[in-house]
Amino acid sequence: MSGEALYERYKDALKRGHVASLRGRLEESLKAYAEAAAIAPERSTPHTSAATALMRRKRPVDALRHYRAALALSPRDEAALLGRAQALASLERRPEAADAFDALAEVRESIGKLADAVDAARRGLELAEGRERRRTLERLIEQLRAAEPSEPGRLALERALRVLEGSAVVATKATAAPTPEALAAAEAAATASAADDIGQGASEAAEASDSAASPDRGLEAVADAVSGPSPDLAEQQPAAPAPIRAALDRDLPPDLDVTALARSAEAGVEQGDRTALPLLLDLAAAHRRDGRIDAALDACYLALSLEPDDVELHLALVELYDERGWSVLAAEKLDLLDRLVTLDADDTGASRVASARAARG
């Protein structure tokens, strides 16, 4: 069998595993991931994906075995490092979990994901106080501030600063005062965060996915505010991309007859008519608007019988999971969607998932 044919078999097995996991079929997903691992034993993704499926079912001990297998093949696998850290934390193995988050922060920093690196370093410090962890977090805070962070980055800074300040207070009570460098870093970060907040408007969800933004963008914005762009330059500026709307941000008429909409959607499902999907998403949005989150979830679950692989539908579930407080489940669904759209080379889906992740902060 040619290498290309073998790779297609691998991708197919991996995709079947992702779809089964999204549908909540654990054994089916594990079987597909095992098949993918047998086809490509040098790859870490099947092991990481199997571990994530087990974590969804609250089986962190079993998940750890797969995360270890993934990291043995790829020690810098970001998804495996994150999963292992979360599994250890859920088992209350705090020192080990803190070390795992430290390793994750190092990998994220090396690939330029500063906001995510700050979050990982913060989690490590939360789990196990340590002087070196404080210094690492201070250093990452300074790097992120210098990078002119977008909204998710500013949120990461704020969360990290709160933990850093709390850590400094604990250190003062337990040992001695924090170093002048630590206080200076915390004060500088607080000042920058406050300055950002003063001029910050409502952030568009698409902003976080614009990884190609110029590092000089902040300086240019200040210059424009003082003198205004020249007419020639203004004409050359490309139009700002339209923000990507959330899955349940739908144009519903104020006098919408929800009962009639439900009847139409259910009739479409009974007939197997896939055009019922937008009706069901409208129905979910209407229920959510009226505070009926469970009914909105039911509408989405009904839609799964029509389009089990639809990215927009799963993004709607992410929004509803977050509103119910199921943040871990929402994050895991986004991770799975990331893998699916990557396998399908779905650029539009990738943009939608990135936008949804940015909107969660």
Percent of the chain beyond pLDDT 90?
28
Give the contacts of 302 (CB within 8 A, at least 6 positions apart). Answer: 265, 266, 269, 280
Residues 124 and 40 in one domain: no
Residues 103 and 189 in one domain: yes
Tokens of 173: 């009570």
**For position 331, what pLDDT does the model report?**
82
Residues 2 and 63 in one domain: yes
d(CA 125, CA 273): 52
Per-residue pLDDT tens digits for 348-361: 888 888 888 887 76
In a domain, 247, yes or no: no
In the listed set 178, 195, 212, which residue is the last one of a domain according to the structure?
Answer: 195
Check pLDDT > 70 for residue 222: no
Q: How many domains does the chain have?
A: 3
In a domain, 317, yes or no: yes
Residues 98 and 145 in one domain: yes
Per-residue pLDDT tens digits for 83-116: 999 999 999 999 999 999 999 999 999 998 888 9
Residues 134 and 44 in one domain: no
Q: Give the CATH number of the domain where residue 329 resides.
A: 1.25.40.10
d(CA 339, CA 18): 8
Q: Find where tokens 């129905």 sit.
A: 283
Residues 134 and 66 in one domain: no
In a domain, 249, yes or no: no
Per-residue pLDDT tens digits for 185-221: 545 544 444 444 434 443 433 343 343 344 344 434 4
Q: Provide the residue range defining the domain that includes 70.
A: 1-74
In the listed set 25, 42, 74, which residue is the last one of a domain according to the structure?
Answer: 74
In a domain, 304, yes or no: yes
Residues 45 and 110 in one domain: no
DSSP assignment of 87-142, as one string? HHHHTT-HHHHHHHHHHHHHHHHHTT-HHHHHHHHHHHHHHS--HHHHHHHHHHHH
Whole-angstrom CA distances from 359 to 14, 171, 244, 288, 330 are 28, 34, 10, 18, 12
Per-residue pLDDT tens digits for 113-148: 888 999 999 999 999 888 898 899 999 988 888 887
Specify the pTM: 0.53
Residues 108 and 63 in one domain: no
In a domain, 233, yes or no: no
d(CA 199, CA 195): 7
Q: Give the CATH number of the domain where residue 182 resides.
A: 1.25.40
Of 49, 87, 111, residue with least CA distance to 101: 87
Dihedral class, residue 25 (left if φ above 0, else alpha if ψ from -120 to 50, else beta)? beta
Residues 61 and 144 in one domain: no
DSSP assignment of 269-328, as one string? HHTT-TTHHHHHHHHHHHHHHTT-HHHHHHHHHHHHTT-TT-HHHHHHHHHHHHHTT-HH
In a domain, 222, yes or no: no
Residues 37 and 106 in one domain: no
* DSSP one-letter code for 209: G
In a domain, 143, yes or no: yes
Residues 98 and 171 in one domain: yes
Across the chain, mean pLDDT equals: 77
In a domain, 220, yes or no: no
Mean pLDDT of 67-86: 94
Mean pLDDT of 267-280: 82
Residues 19 and 59 in one domain: yes
